[in-house]
Amino acid sequence: MTDWNELSDDTKAALEVERTAIERHIRRYIEVLRADEHPGDLPIVQEWVVGCEWTNIELEQSNKGGRDVIMRDGATLSAGLGLGAYIQGRCT
Domains of the chain, residue spans: 1-45, 47-92
pTM of the model: 0.77
pLDDT grade, residue 87 (50/70/90)?
Answer: confident
User: CA torsion 68→72→77→79, rounded to 10°?
Assistant: -110
pLDDT grade, residue 1 (50/70/90)?
Answer: low
User: Are 42 and 34 spatial neighbours (Cβ–Cβ below 8 Å)?
Assistant: yes
